[in-house]
Each structure stands twice: as structure tokens, then as C-alpha cells.
């Protein structure tokens, strides 16, 4: 069993990795399709490294719209924080700029996500975090709940079940802090062994995103600047997978019935689980509650 001092000592090791990146071209943005050879290389990098920086996924106009809505809807959360780690987390309302299919079902990301999570992958969470000046290094963690055993001992050999997309609203530099990753640690059993590969701080410009395998070791780096470091993130799951760790006090999804009905069909399908996953069970329960006792018994096999 590792103690916190040991883990922090091991985590101080910096690797000599190059950043695994894919830069979206203007032609790819225009056609909504990544060149097949470049897509194949992106899949290879993500599979081997456990993360991928996708540069220029969003346009400046899109980022300005995200920033305006993020700040206007969450002004009080960005003004001050009493969180011990200076990192308030909150769920984003899916409306306006964040209800865009470019966010919820981006055509450029779809082939990559489908390759790893299946074509029917879901949007499992739409959230945000803001790291205030002076925020220390976040705790080391893997995002996904382990399916089997602990500390990635068995899950390292399984297909990925969850991928997170992190989108910064200011440039993430070594001063403001990056999302620090340990490349390849998604395929390594044990935290100490995973940290031995050395860390990497992939800087991110506004408009770019970082995709991470749920098993890769990572942490938000300290904010050494005088600016709040805001980001929003989406978590994508295999259609059958549910991991609600961290959502005991807030929902993973916030979307009204009205907004859900307005969504692009593809985006709405990614969120259908949130409204419909237990609809059959709820219906059976409600129907049975409204029937007289003798009839409940008679048709219980069918309901």
C-alpha cells in the first residue's frame, strides 16, 4: 500500500515525452471529416498514450460563445471560492452554446469516439471546473471507476469504457497550469508503476481540447498565475457503462425537456439515456401502483 508521501515523491518525476497531438485543418473543419490517414494516426496515439491533444477543434467564434455563457451563468462561482482546493466543480446547463451539436456530437470527434466507445456512445456528463490563483496540484487519480479489481490491475488489459474531453477557456500554460498526464499509464497496473513513466504537461490553446482515457493517471496542475483557469468538460461512456463518481451532490447532466426536444437528433440520442434509461422500470412501477391488489398479482408476470 502506498502512502501519500511516496506517491507525491514519485509524481515529481517529469518525462521526456512529446505531446501526442492532432491539429484540425481548415479543410477538415469545412468538410466535417478528418483525413483517414490522420485519423488512423490519432487512434494509434490515443490508444498507446492514453490521451490526445486535438488542436483547433473549435473556432474563435465558438469559443467566445462558450466563454460568454460560461461566465454569465456562473458569475458567482467565478468571483470567489471557499473550496479547500480552490477548484469549484459545477454542472453546466445544456442550453445555448452548450446545446450545440458541435459540443455534444462533434462530427470531427465522432469517428474517434465511436472507434473506442462504439457508435452508440453516450454523453455521460457535461461539467465545469475553475482553478483559482494559488490552487495547488490536484490529487492524483484515474477518472473511471474500476470494473475489476483495483489500481488498474485488470482494467489495463480491457477496452476503454470512458473518455473525457477537456476544453479550456483561457490558454493553459505552465504558469496557469495544465492537465498533467502520465502517458501510457492507462496500460500499467499500480499507481507507483504508472508514475514511473514520468509526467507531461500538454499546453492547450483556446479552441483546442484534451481527450483522456478514463484509466490514465492525471491531475490538474497548480495555478501559479493571477487568473482563474476555467474549463468545461464532457465525459463520454460506452452506452452500457455508468460511472457517477463525484456526482453525489450534483447531477451529471442538466437539461430541460424543452431543450432536449430542441437538440439536433444526433446530440439528443447521446443524451437519451438520461431520460429513457429507466423509463420501462418506472412505467411498470407506476402502473402496478395504480392497479387493485388482486389485479397486480394476476398480471405481475407481465409487469
Mean pLDDT for 113-126 is 97
176: nearest Cα among 230, 233, 232:
230
The architecture of the domain spanning 4-278 is: Sandwich (2.60)
CA 58, CA 73: separation in Å to the nearest integer? Answer: 21
- Extract the runs of DSSP E, i.e. beta strands, from 47-153: 51-55, 89-91, 122-131
Measured at the alpha carbon of residue 74, what is the angle toward residues 71 and 76, in degrees to the nearest 5?
110
99: nearest Cα among 238, 243, 271:
271
177 pLDDT more than 90? yes
| Domain edges within the chain | 4-278
Percent of the chain with pLDDT over 70: 89
Q: What is the pTM of this model?
A: 0.89
Q: Which residue did the predictor score with more confidence, 7 or 67? A: 67
Q: Which residue did the predictor score with more confidence, 13 or 262? A: 262
Mean pLDDT for 166-170 is 98
**Grid coordinates of 176:** 496557469
User: How many residues would you count in the chain?
Assistant: 303
Mean pLDDT for 185-189 is 97
138 pLDDT more than 50? yes
Residue-wise pLDDT tens digits, 82-118: 999 999 999 999 999 999 999 999 999 999 999 999 9
- Extract the runs of DSSP E, i.e. beta strands, from 115-228: 122-131, 162-168, 179-181, 209-213, 218-220
Confidence category of residue 290, pLDDT binned at 50, 70, 90: low
Confidence category of residue 281, pLDDT binned at 50, 70, 90: very low
221: nearest Cα among 165, 167, 168, 173:
173
296 pLDDT more than 50? no
Q: What is the mean pLDDT of the chain?
A: 89
For residue 189, the model assigns a pLDDT of 96
244 pLDDT more than 90? no
Q: Which of 51-65, 152-166, 242-256 has the lowest mean pLDDT?
A: 242-256
What's the burial of 95, exposed, middle or buried (CB within 10 Å: 0-12/13-18/19+)? middle
Residues sharing a CB contact under 8 Å with residue 111, sequence separation 6 or more, in sequence order? 34, 39
For residue 201, the model assigns a pLDDT of 97
Amino acid at each position: 500500500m502506498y502512502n501519500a508521501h511516496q506517491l507525491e515523491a514519485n509524481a515529481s518525476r517529469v518525462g521526456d515525452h512529446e505531446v501526442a497531438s492532432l491539429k484540425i485543418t481548415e479543410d477538415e473543419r469545412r468538410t466535417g471529416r478528418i483525413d483517414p490517414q490522420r485519423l488512423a494516426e490519432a487512434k494509434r496515439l490515443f490508444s498507446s498514450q492514453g490521451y490526445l491533444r486535438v488542436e483547433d477543434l473549435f473556432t474563435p467564434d465558438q469559443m467566445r460563445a462558450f466563454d460568454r455563457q460560461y461566465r454569465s451563468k456562473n458569475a458567482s462561482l467565478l468571483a470567489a471560492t471557499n473550496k479547500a482546493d480552490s477548484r469549484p466543480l459545477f454542472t453546466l446547463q445544456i442550453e445555448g452554446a452548450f446545446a450545440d451539436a458541435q459540443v455534444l456530437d462533434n462530427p470531427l470527434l465522432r469517428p474517434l469516439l465511436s472507434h473506442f466507445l462504439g457508435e452508440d456512445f453516450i454523453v455521460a456528463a457535461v461539467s465545469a471546473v475553475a482553478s483559482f490563483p494559488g490552487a495547488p496540484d490536484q490529487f492524483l487519480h484515474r477518472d473511471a471507476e474500476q470494473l475489476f479489481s483495483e489500481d488498474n490491475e485488470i482494467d489495463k488489459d480491457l477496452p476503454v469504457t470512458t473518455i473525457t474531453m477537456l476544453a479550456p477557456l483561457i490558454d493553459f500554460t505552465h504558469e496557469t497550469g495544465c492537465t498533467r498526464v502520465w502517458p501510457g499509464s492507462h496500460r500499467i497496473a499500480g499507481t507507483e508503476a504508472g508514475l514511473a513513466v514520468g509526467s507531461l504537461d500538454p499546453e492547450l490553446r483556446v479552441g483546442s481540447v484534451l481527450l483522456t482515457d478514463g484509466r490514465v493517471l492525471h491531475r490538474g496542475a497548480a495555478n501559479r498565475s493571477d487568473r482563474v483557469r476555467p474549463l468545461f468538460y464532457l465525459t463520454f461512456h460506452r452506452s452500457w457503462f455508468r460511472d457517477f463518481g463525484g456526482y453525489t451532490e450534483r447531477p451529471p447532466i442538466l437539461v430541460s425537456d424543452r431543450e432536449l426536444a430542441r437538440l439536433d437528433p444526433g446530440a439528443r440520442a447521446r443524451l437519451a439515456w438520461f431520460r429513457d434509461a429507466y423509463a420501462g422500470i418506472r412505467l411498470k412501477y407506476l402502473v402496478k401502483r395504480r392497479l387493485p391488489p388482486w389485479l397486480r398479482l394476476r398480471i405481475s408476470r407481465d409487469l
